[in-house]
A and B are shown apart, each in its own frame.
Chain A
Amino acid sequence: DQQVKQNSPSLSVQEGRISILNCDYTNSMFDYFLWYKKYPAEGPTFLISISSIKDKNEDGRFTVFLNKSAKHLSLHIVPSQPGDSAVYFCAGGTSYGKLTFGQGTILTVHP
């Protein structure tokens, strides 16, 4: 039972356009949701998070939206840059700091 799903294995966008990465979850007990970015041969790095009691959080070019009724969250990157090309993981967090990750989406931003 995959509690967090990223149904798009890959996404390709043009530089300057918007990138939208999607994530669905089934566990209603998640307190927080996070997005991590991962470059090859490196560990994931934290990008942005959102509490389960909010519906939007913004940090510069990155915005995360949460739709609790649909159990869906999305990450918007505007404008997209070639350096944003990486694997993006969404994760749900419960008590004791345990994170449950999705499978990841490979984002490619073309110059």
Chain B
Amino acid sequence: NAGVTQTPKFQVLKTGQSMTLQCAQDMNHEYMSWYRQDPGMGLRLIHYSVGAGITDQGEVPNGYNVSRSTTEDFPLRLLSAAPSQTSVYFCASSKDRTTYEQYFGPGTRLTVT
């Protein structure tokens, strides 16, 4: 099993550009989530999904969209990138919403200039 994979590993965007961060898992996990990590802030939940077709907002959802058309994939879309979205983004998954142990991907480091 590859676990949780994320692409790209690094990305530089200009202000106003849009892009999609990809996340996939091959463990048949129902629950998937996106976090961003900023210095001194820990990891903050952006959006999460408890199953295909179901998504909800986390702590810091503004400026991001998600969809969950399959169990395996959970892409994160930046609609119009801003410098405040410069961060490291982690995707995570767990068996279901009652399983607290989440498996994290390696992260995407995004810089918005």
What is the interface of chain A, defined by CB distance below 8 A to chain B? 4, 6, 9, 31-32, 34, 36, 41-46, 49, 89, 91, 93, 95-104
Q: A96-B50, A97-B97 are in contact. Are A103 and B42 (CB under 8 A)?
A: yes
Q: B101 at the A/B interface (Cβ < 8 Å)?
A: yes
The 0/1 profile, CB within 8 Å of A marked 1, for residues 25-61 of chain B is 0000001010100001111110010100000101100
Query: What's the interface size class on B, roughly?
Result: 20 to 34
Q: How far is the CA of A98 from the CA of B58 in the complex (A)?
A: 8
Is A101 touching B42 in the complex (CB atoms < 8 A)? yes
How many pairs, one residue from A and one from B, have CB atoms within 8 Å of each other in the complex?
68
Q: How far is the CA of A41 from the CA of B90 in the complex (A)?
A: 11
Is A97 touching B48 in the complex (CB atoms < 8 A)? yes
Q: A89-B42, A104-B42 are in contact. Are A34 and B100 (CB under 8 A)?
A: yes
Q: Which of A4, A41, A44, A104 has the most CB of B within 10 A?
A: A44
Q: B75 at the A/B interface (Cβ < 8 Å)?
A: no
Give the residue name and chain of the A residue nearest to B109 (CB).
Answer: A41
Residues of A within 8 A of B104 (CB): 36, 43-45
Is B107 touching A46 in the complex (CB atoms < 8 A)? no
Is A44 touching B42 in the complex (CB atoms < 8 A)? no
Residues of B within 8 A of A101 (CB): 35, 42-44
Residues of B within 8 A of A102 (CB): 42
Give the residue name and chain of the A residue nearest to B58 (CB).
Answer: A98
Q: B99 at the A/B interface (Cβ < 8 Å)?
A: yes
